[in-house]
Chains A and B, each alone.
Chain A
Amino acid sequence: MWKEIEAREAGKMRTNSFTNRIKSHRVSTLHLSNHKDIVSPHRASINSLQVDLTEGRYLLSAAADASAAVFDVQRATDYEGNGNIIAKHKSIFAIDKQHEQGHKYAISSAIWYPIDTGLFITGSYDHYIKVWDTNTTQVVMNFKMPGKVYRVAMSSLSTSHMLIAAGTEDVQVRLCDIASGAFAHTLSGHRDGIMSVEWSTSSEWVLMTGGCDGAIRFWDIRRAGCFRVLDQSQTQLGRRPPVLERSVTNKVLMSKSLSASHNLSVKPRALQKKSANGNSMKQTPVGRIPAKGSAKQRLHPGMLSCHDRATAHYGAVTGLKVTEDGMYLLSAGSDSRIRLWDVESGCNTLVNFETVRLQTTKAIQLATTQDSALVFVPCMTTVKAFDVWTGRTSLSFRSHYECVNCCWFSSQDQDLYTGGNDRQILVWSPSRLVSDELGDRFVQDTDNWSD
């Protein structure tokens, strides 16, 4: 590490790569933090976790006992243990059934308003989506959904809309507009309830939804109908190199792909062209490629029925996560598979993730690191970190006593938060620096051989 700092000082290393190296090193040392306890006020399984996107400071958790709580993860409320080495983070506030406007049943999903921490949104099994004012802990808006709400999502980069995408028991995805307090869109296409909803991180108009029918659909909210259904049999081998690993040979391709991703929503044809040009791409039905673009354009609202019936998983799609750069989509299904999709081509990249078993009945929340090198997946009682590109298990976090439902990676301080059915929110943090270790030498844990 000192060498790296020296290189940075000498200007041999770029700022970006330096921070990335430090970060990835820290991520590789993640372990159960002994110095950071989150005191969970929840009396049932934790369904959702999110650290706010603006400050990276407030953790929002939602649980099955209709409670949601907010924690300050930067500043502890009190300390414990001799030498005050255990920092306890108690909830700043919690809303539960006792709250006059609280939810009646389990909250399945709670998210921060992406612009600031003044609002947060909860979706519950009692069919309601509520928008809360954080400061007064009062409900400012209420959306009645046709069924149990499984997942809500807001676009983190939207500048022109304030839509909450909601996946419910119902087959239709609804977009709730905070500005007007009404449903702005009703997107139909799924044949079963929708377990997971995710906004694209590259375009504010693109929404991805995964349903219990095993389909993952892409929607452009400016147009009617879905414009893509991911098909697990449509595959490509390998991947385009990540943005950060620039090499001379890939540079041209890189710029192309970047431009393509910018044009993605505007010009589907450009996308099509790009995917045809991709060097590492291999599509099985070769003859169909040229026809596909035009056909899709023509058939767009209704699409070809065989396209429309394509599935991404055998079983329900329980989790979706777009990588930070918006180029790849990770999906988890009740068939205990995780698939990595190329967003632009819509192809299954055939990365084999060594999952053991995934929870099948509940929606799970995946997390990726900022450079999309690792994906954290709750696999029953453990959380596993897989290498996104190879699918190998690089880390395995086990300390939960029951199934883990959700995880959140805070890219700011490289902390991983996991919540599970055992009502605990665990913090996994990188090992501390040496100076920190020296600080609590006086309460060292030592050998104690009496004989």
Chain B
Amino acid sequence: MEEAREGGGGGKVRALIEKATNSTAAEVDPRILKAIKSVVRSSDSELRLAARTLLDLMKRDHSQVRYLTLVVIDELFIRSKLFRSLLVENLDQLLTLSVGFRRNLPLPPPPAVASRLRSKAIEFLEKWNASFGVHYRQLRLGFDYLKNTLRFQFPNLQANAARIQQERRERETRTKEILRTKFETLRANLPSIKEEIQSTVDEIGQCLNIILTQEESMPLAPLDDEDFVEFRSSELQQLRLDSLKEGEKVCENSDNKVVFDTLRELYKLLMTNHLISVQELISVLIRVEGADNRYRDSALKELIDIRNRLISVKKKCEESGCASTDAVKHWKEKEEEDFWEECKNGPFENGSSSTPIRQNGDLDVASNSSKVKNEAPERSKENTFENELPSCEGGITNAFSLKSKLLAEAPVMQWGSYLNNWGSNMDILANQRGMEFESHWGRVDYDAVIPADKIAELNIQATIYKEDQVEIPPCHAPLSTGALCQRRDLRVCPFHGPIIPRDDEGNPIHQSTSMDKTTLDLQSNLVGKLAKQAVMNVRDADKEEERKRENNKRSVKRAKLARIREHNEAVLRDAAMASTSRSADIGEDVEVVKGDKSLARNKKQTLASMLHKKVTTKDRIAQKLLNSRVKDSTVKQLALGEDTNYREAFPNQW
């Protein structure tokens, strides 16, 4: 009975499995798979047969078949207990055939599928081991063997996922714990913090009151000292006004100095301490998940109130402009940045539109700005003063130009401690640096001196050459669409010829006119540049010519070679045609004659076709060239000796 059923129905599962595995697709057809599953599920004998068939198929000498078989095996393995118990009996065989770890039994071709088969098998084994390893020693054994003895790399999917999960959970608990402790401390400290903040705010209020009353009584005086100066540039004027305004604000004298100091300190305390701590507490309260929600809400409300109050106080302080060093700095920085943006010069922008004074200002600020940014407002105030000072003297440009020239030339030094004794020629006491040498080992010579030249030697600056980035200007030639050409080429645009400065509409600006507008110093600069450019142009032309000549030579040579090669090929082809009966052309003819039936078969990818190496043109040529008959003919050809040489040298005459 059983046998009969196996005989009758057995064909079905076998046929199904064979059909499923006889394909070139990367996956098993899901419908066939489903059919297999339903058939196998219906009876144990079918399942046995399936296991046997699958193991047989695994022995096929084709990786694609093995791969698909393995996929089917996996599908059944994770579902049926009987299948598992049947399969683990032959697990070593299965692994040998799918992983190919035995040297004498490597995986069959095609290699691409073989490597996929191996990785899949390893992945499956890991999966099986994770889910069924407890029940099957063989699985554990195989896994252990591949992992620990052969040191195969398992994808380790489950373990990785578990680890990540675990890490995340740990992190969460840790943060929760931290939050909770923070919350506890907050609970304990909240009244004292509130008190502290309140006292600070009160003090600030008092200080502000004092200052405001003082300021009202102060005269808005010292503007008129500089009234006689005529400002040429509106920017400068603006700058000056701002500085004046600032000076007005930070105005402090011996009377209110104490008040200002306190105010400054309090403000600082407020900003760096209270505000931040309050923010933090709020964030803690928001994130914490405590049992005591009521307390949390009330505390949150309170803290937000406090924060709002602090912000308003801060605003008040800044408005009064007294102690807010930060505000001054911010303002200054903003101004500086504006300058920076304006004074960027492209290689072809000659700065013709800006006035010399403006340039001075630019340069000056530019050279100092790096320092200014990081230092106290007093310093920057000085700076601005410096800016103003020369302009007071009547706009004489000579001194400026000299200075600017020098500044332009001057190397920029890195900031360092050596700047402390910049330019000094003194010897330096080696052991007098405020360090305690009492408990030092050995005796210390307090009068030890480092000679000045040694110091100079030590302070020699190493500079690293940095290539400065030149912004390549766009071509800007007018296009037919009305836009300007945006190509950025160094010298010559391939569409619009050499790049020349152009105005907004794309019309070329003549160098000479722009030159007229520039001032003298810039002109000289430009002349130098032009001269350099001219030299470079000449050199380029020379090089170009040389290259062209070389190219010519080369092309002539190449043409000669090509001719010779052509000739050779012709000879070879003739020889091959003459000596082989089944040349490529004839073969093609035959193919065509066979008709569309064979064509269709050729087009359909089969398992066998996967085994064939793809024939490239290179292979074909190599084959043709290495064909023994052709070789013979070439040998014969070579034997022709001088005659051949002659012919190769003058292929046209043959």
Contacts and interface: CB of A to CB of B under 8 A. Distances in A.
Interface of A: 32-34, 37, 80-82, 85-86, 381, 398-401, 422-424, 426, 443, 445-451
Contact of B145 (A37, A422, A443, A449): A422
Given A424-B141, A445-B81, A449-B37, 8 more contacts: A34-B137, A37-B140, A399-B91, A401-B92, A445-B132, A446-B81, A448-B80, A451-B34
A49 to B, nearest CB: 17
Contacts of A448: 78-80
Nearest to B145: A401
Given A34-B135, A86-B134, A399 B80 contact: no
B84 A445 contact: yes
Contacts of B41: 449
A59 B534 CA distance: 95
B395 interface: no
B390 interface: no
B138 interface: yes
B19 to A, nearest CB: 19
B149 interface: yes
Contacts of B92: 381, 398-401
B134 A401 contact: no
B142 interface: yes
Interface residues of B, number: 25
A82 B142 CA distance: 20
Nearest to A446: B81
A43 B250 CA distance: 81
Interface in B57-105: 78-82, 84, 91-92, 95
B136 interface: yes
Interface of B: 34, 37-38, 41, 78-82, 84, 91-92, 95, 132, 134-138, 140-142, 144-145, 149
A424 B134 contact: no
The main secondary structure of chain B at its interface with chain A is helix
Nearest to B134: A81
B34 to A, nearest CB: 7
A42 to B, nearest CB: 11
B81 A399 contact: no
Contacts of B91: 399
A82 B131 CA distance: 11
A423 B134 CA distance: 21
The 10 A-B pairs with the shortest beta carbon distances in the complex, nearest first, are: A445-B135, A81-B134, A34-B137, A401-B145, A447-B81, A32-B137, A449-B79, A448-B79, A447-B80, A399-B138
B149 A401 contact: yes
A424 B145 contact: yes
Contact of B80 (A398, A426, A449, A451): A449
Nearest to A400: B92
A401 B142 contact: yes
A399 B137 contact: yes
The main secondary structure of chain A at its interface with chain B is loop
A426 B78 contact: no
A399 B37 contact: no
Contact of A443 (B80, B82, B134): B134
A431 B78 CA distance: 24
Nearest to B141: A399
Contacts of A33: 137
B37 A451 contact: yes
B86 to A, nearest CB: 13
Contacts of A32: 137-138
30 contacts: A32-B138, A33-B137, A34-B135, A34-B136, A34-B137, A37-B140, A82-B134, A85-B134, A86-B134, A381-B92, A399-B92, A400-B92, A401-B142, A423-B149, A424-B144, A424-B145, A426-B137, A426-B141, A443-B134, A445-B81, A445-B84, A445-B132, A445-B134, A447-B80, A447-B81, A449-B79, A449-B80, A450-B79, A451-B37, A451-B38
Contacts of B142: 401
Contacts of A81: 134
Contacts of A399: 91-92, 137-138, 141
A207 to B, nearest CB: 37
Contacts of B136: 34
B84 A422 contact: no
Contacts of A37: 137, 140
B149 to A, nearest CB: 6
Nearest to A401: B145
A443 B82 CA distance: 16
A145 B81 CA distance: 55
Contacts of B145: 401, 422, 424
Contacts of A450: 79
B249 to A, nearest CB: 76
B132 A447 contact: no
A80 B144 CA distance: 15
B289 to A, nearest CB: 33
A76 to B, nearest CB: 14
B73 to A, nearest CB: 15
Nearest to B96: A401
A422 B102 CA distance: 13
Contacts of B137: 32-34, 37, 399, 426
Contacts of A400: 92
A445 B77 CA distance: 12
Contacts of B144: 424
A423 B144 CA distance: 11
Contacts of B132: 445
A313 to B, nearest CB: 26
A195 to B, nearest CB: 26
A445 B132 CA distance: 8
B28 to A, nearest CB: 15
Contacts of A381: 92
A32 B89 CA distance: 10
A162 to B, nearest CB: 39
A447 B82 CA distance: 8
Nearest to A421: B149
A235 to B, nearest CB: 37
Nearest to B102: A401
Contacts of B140: 37
Nearest to B139: A34
A85 B137 CA distance: 11
Q: Which of B37, B78, B142, B145: most chain A Cβ within 10 A?
A: B145
A81 B139 CA distance: 14
A401 to B, nearest CB: 5
Nearest to A34: B137
Contacts of A422: 145, 149
B286 to A, nearest CB: 42
Contacts of A80: 134
B176 to A, nearest CB: 30
Contacts of B81: 445-447
Nearest to A423: B149
A400 B137 CA distance: 11
A228 B35 CA distance: 69
Contacts of A82: 134
Nearest to B142: A401
A438 to B, nearest CB: 16
Contacts of B34: 451
Contacts of B141: 399, 401, 424, 426
Nearest to B138: A399
A449 B34 CA distance: 11
B360 to A, nearest CB: 80
Contacts of A451: 34, 37-38
A38 to B, nearest CB: 11
A33 B137 CA distance: 7
Contacts of A446: 81
Contacts of A34: 135-137
A432 to B, nearest CB: 13
Nearest to B80: A447
B147 to A, nearest CB: 12
A437 to B, nearest CB: 12
Contacts of B37: 449, 451
Nearest to A424: B141
Contacts of B138: 32, 399
